[in-house]
Amino acid sequence: TKSTVPVGTGDEVERIIREANPSADVSVASNPEFLREGAAITDFKRPDRIVVGTQDARAEAVMREVYRPLYLNQAPILVTDRRTAELTKYAANAFLAAKITFINEIADLCEEVGADVQQVARGIGLDKRIGPKFLHAGPGYGGSCFPKDTLALVKTAQDAGTPLRLVETVVAVNDQRKRAMARKVIKACGGSVRGKTVALLGLTFKPDTDDMRDAPSLAIVAGLQDAGATVRAYDPEGMGHARTLMPDVAYAEDAYACAEGADALVIVTEWNAFRALDLGR
């Protein structure tokens, strides 16, 4: 099983197989993937670690053989029991979601006390115990993994009678942050956007993908439209999906056409193409 699945799924799959065909020569292993959307091939060829959940020696040998071509990169194979492998994937994603949410809350504090969150992030990220990854303040996490996996982990923990209060708070803070972004735009426009045009650059939950699942832009657009704004948007890859989710947004041909005549310009997704824009123009 490659998919991120609730703890105990492998046990249930094995139970079904044994029940359906007691003589079947089958071993069920968990092999969660740690691939980033937009960089999956690179992550597969140069993995940080390979986790295999099985207590069957033959299954372990098969899985080691499957990954043998990657050994030149010295990727460590961690062999655990099946439930541990299933939970490792959830714990990893929840921790990364917590890092994002932490720096976002620090960003709010920085704005109030006159500090620079990017320098704070660099200052703490240089600590090897913390590391620089996932410390980029922004409009909150989205996509197919973090929202789903944090909620699943919260539910699993509640069912087990050991609630994960930290992860529960991460989920709540991240949801609130997306709407708060719209309020920041309204505040920057003098307290009202009624009758104004707000241009959005970037709609997908992160760059290098067309994925709109749980994208912060959805909540930002809704908040701006609720406040009476006309929203115009441009995204290098995501507009096809965005049109079905937000049909009452005006979609532009490029970033400059999106910005032209707008009262405010909001960069939502950090596409490299937006880093190269002529901001004066």
On whether the CB atoms of residues 107 and 135 are closer than 8 A, the answer is no
The residue among 169, 143, 142, 145 whose CA lies nearest residue 157 is 169
Q: Which 3 state secondary structure label does DSSP give 229? A: coil
Active site residue 145: yes
Torsions phi, psi for 26 (to 5 deg): -130, 140
CA-closest candidate to residue 216, choices 227, 226, 229, 203:
203
Q: Which amino acid is at 129?
A: R
* Catalytic-role residue among 110, 145, 189, 258: 145
Q: What is the DSSP letter of 199?
A: E
Q: How many CB atoms lie within 10 A of CB 80?
A: 16
Vertex 102: Cα angle to 156 and 111 (nearest 5):
150
Alpha-carbon distance of 176 to 160, in angstroms, equals: 27
Q: What is the dihedral of CA 65, 67, 71, 75, to 10 degrees?
A: -130
Which sign, positive or negative, has the C-alpha torsion 231, 232, 236, 239?
Answer: positive
**Catalytic machinery residues:** 145
